[in-house]
A and B are shown apart, each in its own frame.
Chain A
């Protein structure tokens, strides 16, 4: 089973600050995804990333969000100016080259004060 790690495990930030969440897949994969889960609510799709480009994004993924693979390995989600309502668990997921199932990382808990 593919392994995905995320850093940090918990991030606390002040409203208006920028945060960068990182996803580190152990091996190369086809698709990358970011999801978020507000406490007590269901998991929501944010964005999918294929071949170093955004493949699809939801209405949640507005201009304050961006994704990239800065070094061809790590996959990052940047929130430029955090809002209180950005507080949530953020999960990275990967889709292996020869699979049809996404594997999730352990998540980063973002707390915006």
Chain B
């Protein structure tokens, strides 16, 4: 069964600190993996997208990694800001035109 599991479920850190969010998946065949940021009550916004051959992708203070062998991905946030408070969702696509599988997300809270 195609699944995407994320950890931790929620995370609280102080402003300026770094953090890493985890994503494990069992989706097959694999097409790409994306990390989205979702502010409360808003639509998901794409942060990074990685295909099978990509190991890392950066977008400003966000750096995503992908290990296609172990089917794991991480999202590292550097020097966190208050505006980083949001849900971070790992999404895996089996095929380009197929429906995509969402993780439940990690709820990140940044404290001043």
Please state if B43 and A101 are interface contacts (CB–CB under 8 Å).
no
A48 contacts the other chain (Cβ, under 8 Å)?
yes
- Contact pick for B100, options A89, A102, A105, A106, CB 8 Å: A102
Closest 6 pairs (CB-CB, A-B): A104-B43, A42-B104, A45-B99, A43-B102, A107-B43, A106-B43
Chain A residues in contact with chain B, CB under 8 A? 30-31, 33, 41-45, 48, 50, 55-56, 58, 89, 91, 95, 100-107, 109
Please state if B97 and A103 are interface contacts (CB–CB under 8 Å).
no
Number of A-B contacts (CB under 8 A): 51
Kindly state the separation between the CA atoms of A50 and B46 in the bound complex, as whole angstroms: 22
B42 contacts the other chain (Cβ, under 8 Å)?
yes
Please state if B32 and A103 are interface contacts (CB–CB under 8 Å).
no
Take A89-B41, A103-B46, A104-B45 as given contacts and tell me if A44 and B102 are in contact as well, using a CB distance cutoff of 8 Å: yes
Kindly state the separation between the CA atoms of A89 and B43 in the bound complex, as whole angstroms: 9
B16 contacts the other chain (Cβ, under 8 Å)?
no
Please state if B41 and A109 are interface contacts (CB–CB under 8 Å).
yes
Kindly state the separation between the CA atoms of A42 and B107 in the bound complex, as whole angstroms: 11
Q: Which residue of A lies closest to B89 (CB)?
A: A43
- Contact pick for B34, options A45, A89, A101, CB 8 Å: A101
Please state if A105 and B43 are interface contacts (CB–CB under 8 Å).
yes
Please state if A33 and B46 are interface contacts (CB–CB under 8 Å).
no
Please state if B45 and A48 are interface contacts (CB–CB under 8 Å).
no
Mask, B41-62, CB within 8 Å of A = 1, is 1111110010100000000000
Distance in Å from the Cβ of A112 to the closest Cβ of chain B? 17
Kindly state the separation between the CA atoms of A92 and B41 in the bound complex, as whole angstroms: 14
Distance in Å from the Cβ of A4 to the closest Cβ of chain B? 8
**20 pairs of residues in contact across A and B, judged by CB atoms under 8 Å:** A30-B97, A31-B97, A41-B104, A42-B103, A43-B44, A43-B102, A44-B102, A45-B101, A45-B102, A48-B97, A56-B99, A58-B99, A91-B43, A91-B44, A100-B31, A100-B32, A100-B49, A101-B46, A105-B43, A107-B41
